[in-house]
Amino acid sequence: MNLYNLKHNEEQVSFTQAVKQGLGKQQGLFFPDNIPAFDDIDALLDLDFHPRCAKLLAALLDNELSEQELLEMVTKAFIFPAPLAEVSDKISALELFHGPTLAFKDFGGRFMAQCLAKFSNGNKTTILTATSGDTGAAVAHAFYGMENINVVVLYPKGKISPLQEKLFCTLGGNITTVAVEADFDACQAMVKQSFDDEALKQAIGLNSANSINISRLVAQVCYYFEAAAQLSKAQREQLVVSVPSGNFGNLTAGLIAKAMGLPIKRFIAATNANDTVPRYLASGNWEPKPTQATLSNAMDVSQPNNWPRVEELFKTKGWPLSDLGKGVMSDAQTAEAVKALDDAGYVCEPHGAIAYQQLTEQLAEGEQGLFLCTAHPAKFKESVEEILGREIGLPKPLADRADLALLSKEMPADFAQLRELLMSI
Site track 124-163 with ligand PLP (rule: CB under 6 A), x = hit? ----------x-----------------------------
In angstroms, what is the minimal distance from the CB of 122 to ligand PLP? 32
The residue (of 1 and 301) whose beta carbon lies closer to ligand PLP is 301
Cα angle 231-351-282, degrees, rounded to a multiple of 5: 90
The residue (of 104 and 143) whose beta carbon lies closer to ligand PLP is 104
Q: Please choose, out of 3-11, 238-246, 331-339, 382-390, the segment that lies near ligand PLP by the rule CB under 6 A.
A: 238-246
Q: Is 70 in the site for ligand PLP (CB under 6 A)?
A: no
Q: How far apart are CA 111 and CA 138, in angstroms?
A: 11
Characterize the bridge pairing of strands 149-156 and 84-86. unpaired
Site track 374-403 with ligand PLP (rule: CB under 6 A), x = hit? xx----------------------------
Handedness of CA 366, 242, 167, 112 (dihedral sign): positive
In angstroms, what is the minimal distance from the CB of 416 to ligand PLP? 33
Q: Is 176 in the site for ligand PLP (CB under 6 A)?
A: no
Q: How far apart are CA 331 and CA 367, in angstroms?
A: 28
3 has which bridge partners?
13, 32
Q: Is 256 in the site for ligand PLP (CB under 6 A)?
A: no
Q: How far apart are CA 175 and CA 137, in angstroms?
A: 10
- Shortest CA distance to 104 belongs to which of 328, 332, 299, 391? 299
Segment 88-127, which members bind ligand PLP (CB under 6 A)? Answer: 103, 105
In angstroms, what is the minimal distance from the CB of 295 to ligand PLP? 11
Contacts of 98 (CB under 8 A, 6+ apart): 80, 81, 82, 83, 376
In angstroms, what is the minimal distance from the CB of 250 to ligand PLP? 4
Q: Please choose, out of 8-16, 45-53, 62-70, 241-249, the segment that lies near ligand PLP by the rule CB under 6 A.
A: 241-249
Q: Is 170 in the site for ligand PLP (CB under 6 A)?
A: no
In angstroms, what is the minimal distance from the CB of 146 to ligand PLP? 23
CB 380 within 8 A of CB 415: no
Length of the chain: 425
The residue (of 174 and 271) whose beta carbon lies closer to ligand PLP is 271
Q: How far apart are CA 55 and CA 152, in angstroms?
A: 33
The residue (of 15 and 267) whose beta carbon lies closer to ligand PLP is 267
Site track 289-328 with ligand PLP (rule: CB under 6 A), x = hit? ---------xx-----------------------------
CB 152 within 8 A of CB 421: yes
Residue 29 is given by DSSP the state P
CB 374 within 8 A of CB 103: yes
Contacts of 51 (CB under 8 A, 6+ apart): 71
Q: How far apart are CA 31 and CA 162, in angstroms?
A: 38
Q: Is 213 in the site for ligand PLP (CB under 6 A)?
A: no
Segment 351-370, which members bind ligand PLP (CB under 6 A)? Answer: 351
Contacts with ligand PLP by CB under 6 A lie at: 103, 105, 134, 244-250, 298-299, 351, 374-375
